[in-house]
Amino acid sequence: MVTLGSDAVLKVAIPSDGALYESTLLFLDSCGLRVNQENRRRYTASIPFLEGVSVIFQRSADITDKIEEGSADLGVLGHDRYLELRKEDRLTKVVMRNLGFGACSLALGIPDSWIDVSSIADLADLAAEFHDKGESLRIATKSPRLVEGFLLSNGISHFSLVQSSGTLEVAPAMGFADIIADITSSGTTMRENHLKTIQGGTVIESEACLIANKNTITGDSKKLVLANRFIEIIHAHMNSKEHFLVTANIQSECVDELARDILKRSVVEGLIGPTISKVYSIDSVDWYAVTVVVDRSSLMESVRNFREMGALSMTVTQPNYVFQSESDNSGRLI
């Protein structure tokens, strides 16, 4: 067994700015991994539930670099940012692709006045027209790597990318770009700036992900233990969202017969089988509390089955965690 000492620190980088700052803290808190940050000006924090884990607050744009250089071992950031900024040496890898928050898309924004452009095919034709006139379609973006690959894959080869760190939506109005490619969640900001999205114009759908430097973690047995625990807690919490705990009170003269009846109905047999316990009622009737864990998609079907079996009442709760018999997190990291 590995003993975790005070010097065995796993560093987790999370956003210090932008939309993912609050949502990352809320997500970790929901997983039972509350971040203890003394004040907003401090850029380090701890997770009391996991001794040995240190949290480092970084700008979202810097997290990939911090993981790759080994300044941090794990990092939470948007998947689009990771794909845009990662190096090709593959020192980092995505260990959890979708964390369930921070959903957005990187999409093209076209001026409303371009009424003839409603699809990516139309844009390809327009780019060709620009080229024939000796001009280039100018696209303002903060994600040149992703946008270039997307345009080329859609047959658009005549364009120029204008990198900007400021507000992109004003680029067409100011005249330093013809269209934009920017992050959007609802499209409201684009519409308010007289821009529209087009069919097939989404570069990538993204949400928060968890990345790791596999070398720094797998090269240190103590870090590996902590990383496995950190990831497994998150995975078990996310897995729990797809399950419900259903308890039904059912009358039966024979508990074994009741169990057999339940096991005949696959929708209410639970993950392995039902848990059945005696209910001591004042009317001396043989009542049993049957508890099973069912998938979210099977909830109402399980309620119907229990009703058919004569259930008097049912309660439904959601577990905080659903752990598997073995962890596959070492495989995720390696």
In a domain, 5, yes or no: no
96 with 218, same domain: the answer is yes
148 with 264, same domain: the answer is no
143 with 96, same domain: the answer is no
313 with 261, same domain: the answer is yes
In a domain, 191, yes or no: yes
H helix runs in 241-317, sequence order: 255-264, 299-308
Q: Tell me which residue of 267, 274, 264 sits closest to 302, measured CA to CA.
A: 267
**Residue 230 structure tokens:** 């950190």
Spans of the chain below 70 pLDDT: 1-8, 328-331, 334
In a domain, 130, yes or no: yes
In a domain, 2, yes or no: no
240, 257, 283 — which closes off a domain?
Answer: 240
CB-based contacts of 47, cutoff 8 Å, min separation 6: 12, 28, 33, 34, 35, 36, 53, 55
pTM confidence score: 0.86
Total domains in the chain come to 3
Q: Residue 302: CA atoms inside 13 Å, Cβ hemisphere, count? A: 28
CA–CA separation, 218 and 284 (whole Å): 60
16 with 89, same domain: the answer is yes
* The predicted structure's pLDDT at residue 330: 59
The CATH number covering residue 152 comes to 3.40.190.10
CA–CA separation, 256 and 258 (whole Å): 5
**Residue 42 structure tokens:** 């401090």
* The predicted structure's pLDDT at residue 270: 74
CB-based contacts of 61, cutoff 8 Å, min separation 6: 81, 85
83 with 63, same domain: the answer is yes
* The predicted structure's pLDDT at residue 328: 65
Residue pair 112/172 in contact by the 8 Å Cβ criterion:
no
In a domain, 247, yes or no: yes
In a domain, 4, yes or no: no
Distances (CA, A) of 152 to 69, 139, 144, 155, 324: 31, 13, 12, 5, 43
61 with 145, same domain: the answer is no
User: Which residues on adjacent β-strands are paired with residue 58?
Assistant: 15
94 with 214, same domain: the answer is yes
Domain range holding 59? 10-100+207-240
Rg (CA), the chain: 26
CB-based contacts of 59, cutoff 8 Å, min separation 6: 15, 16, 17
119 with 178, same domain: the answer is yes
The CATH number covering residue 278 comes to 3.30.70.120
H helix runs in the chain, sequence order: 19-30, 60-69, 79-85, 120-132, 144-153, 171-174, 188-192, 214-218, 221-240, 255-264, 299-308, 329-333
145 with 224, same domain: the answer is no
H helix runs in 133-181, sequence order: 144-153, 171-174
In a domain, 329, yes or no: no
233 with 248, same domain: the answer is no
In a domain, 201, yes or no: yes
Decide: helix, strand or coil at residue 327.
coil
End-to-end CA distance of the chain, in Å? 20
22 with 171, same domain: the answer is no
153, 187, 205 — which closes off a domain?
Answer: 205
* The predicted structure's pLDDT at residue 41: 74
